[in-house]
Amino acid sequence: MDLDVFRKETRDWLASQCPESMRTAMPGDEYPGGGKRARYKNPDTQLWMQRCAEKGYTAPTWPKQYGGAGLDARQAQVLREEMSRLKVRTPLVGMGLSMIGPALLEYGTEEQKAEHLPRIATGEIWWCQGYSEPNSGSDLASLQTRAVVDGDEYIINGQKVWTSGADRADWIFCLVRTDPKAPKHNGITFLLFDMDQPGVSVRPIKLISGLSPFCETYFQDARALRKNVVGQVNDGWTVAKRLLQYERTMIGGGQGGGAGRSNLVEVARQYVGVSDGKLAQPQLRDEVIQHGMNDRCFGLAVRRNLEESRSTKAPSFVSSMFKLYGTEQNKSRSELLLKAMGVQMLGWQGEGFEEKELEATRAWLRTKANSIEGGTSEVQLNIIAKRVLGLPD
């Protein structure tokens, strides 16, 4: 279809189908994660998710037979632009869409794709990631969770940690050791299994905020079907690395998202004020402009990479550069919001703060984790040095 026609149709569809309340910045407690246990504070969240799922817009580039819209890279870019223009919220987020879904498209069997992808695209199943263990974070390949074959199944024993959303998750994608004698990268298998079974238990890790975004996850004779091995047995590291590239691209903003974020310039104008049509504080003005230019350059670099990787349809080690830069950019954006909003962005509870201000405080503190989750900045620098620049070990 002609791109202009597609743009017009998309614009009309978004304008007519997106509920008004889904055209505002997304509060932290309204994230549309999906899953069997999801409860939506705002019913429009679910309505918007359903409408987009029917259209294939929760997973725009996935093939139609798996619940996507089958858009090519240019059409997907138009959709992002139109969503951003209308300030509509992302209809569905989560590790299903951004991590295990793309990995399955690349490495899954036909049976795995048909079973799992449509249930991700409709938001029916919430996935969590079983990678990190108490002694295996940056050195992930040293993981010790064991899986042994028992007929058509694997029996799994071990522990994971920092498992985001494990207490709400329906399914887990998990790295397990299937050959303890092999060199550490070669004895790992990538397995999918149901969290709702007697052998799986989770203990939420309580933060100082009172929230528990992640958990300790225990497997005691948990079971997985052998047909749910993704890729080859003992070669799970290949799939694991690719999935990390998808994850890092997503965390760094390398999928070209960002719709639904509050506008830095508007916020700064509101809190600092305007003189002669300009932001009243010259130094903050400079920093906001610099940040805006960096954002624009980063966005263009992301777009160029999306275009260039159109033939392979897969990320590469460049994802480490996106992760490193994008998370720093995200953190500095929050620091600038803090400079603009001042003490109004230092509230935790009580009177004197609007909901959006309390939200901004939480979002600012949350950004601190961006350069840890999905592999720390130091680890990304190591990867860039070795895999992108070709420097010796």
Note the residues at the interface with ligand FAD (CB under 6 A).
128-129, 131-132, 137-138, 162-164, 214, 369, 372-373, 375-376, 378-379, 382
Of 32 and 375, the one with the shorter C-beta distance to ligand FAD is: 375
- Give residue 156's identity as a one-letter amino acid code: I
What residues pair up with 274 in beta bridges, in sequence order? Answer: 279
Contact 176, 146 (CB under 8 A): yes
Give CA–CA dist 191/168, Å, rounded. 19
Question: Which among 82, 133, 247, 359 is annotated as catalytic?
Answer: 247
Whichever of 61 and 380 has its CB closer to ligand FAD, that residue is 380
The DSSP call for residue 170 is: S
CB–CB of 321/382 below 8 Å? Answer: no
Tell me how crowded residue 100 is: count the other CB atoms within 10 A of its CB: 29
Closest residue (Cβ) to ligand FAD?
137
Question: Closest CB to ligand FAD among 68 and 158?
Answer: 158
Cα–Cα distances in angstroms (integers) from residue 329 to residues 240, 253, 283, 298, 299, in the given order: 26, 10, 18, 9, 11
Q: Largest Cα–Cα distance in the chain?
A: 76
Q: Tell me if 234 sits within 8 A of 188, measured CB to CB.
A: yes
Is the CB of 26 or the CB of 172 nearer to ligand FAD?
Answer: 172
The least CB distance from residue 145 to ligand FAD, in Å, is 11
Question: Min. distance of Cβ 137 from ligand FAD in angstroms?
Answer: 2
Dihedral angle sign, alpha carbons of residues 289, 291, 296, 301? positive
Taking each helix axis from N to C terminus, what angle separates 318-341 and 236-251, rounded to the nearest 10 degrees? 30
Nearer to ligand FAD, 97 or 128 (CB): 128
Mark out the alpha helices in 200-317 (DSSP H runs).
236-251, 264-272, 282-308
Reply yes or no on whether 247 is catalytic: yes
The nearer residue to ligand FAD, 107 or 214, going by C-beta atoms, is 214
Matching residue, tokens 């817009």: 57
- Taking 3-state DSSP, the helix, strand and coil percentages for the chain, each rounded to the nearest 5, stand at 50, 15, 35
Minimum Å gap between C-beta 323 and ligand FAD is: 11
Alpha-carbon gap, residue 224 to 84, rounded angstroms: 41
Provide the minimum distance between the beta carbon of 336 and ligand FAD in the complex, in angstroms, as a whole number.
Answer: 22
Residue 77 beta carbon to ligand FAD: minimum distance, rounded to whole angstroms: 29
Q: How far is the CB of 161 from ligand FAD (least distance, A)?
A: 7
Query: What are the CA-CA distances from residue 191 to residues 13, 170, 294 (Å)?
Result: 39, 14, 39
Give catalytic residues, as residue numbers.
247
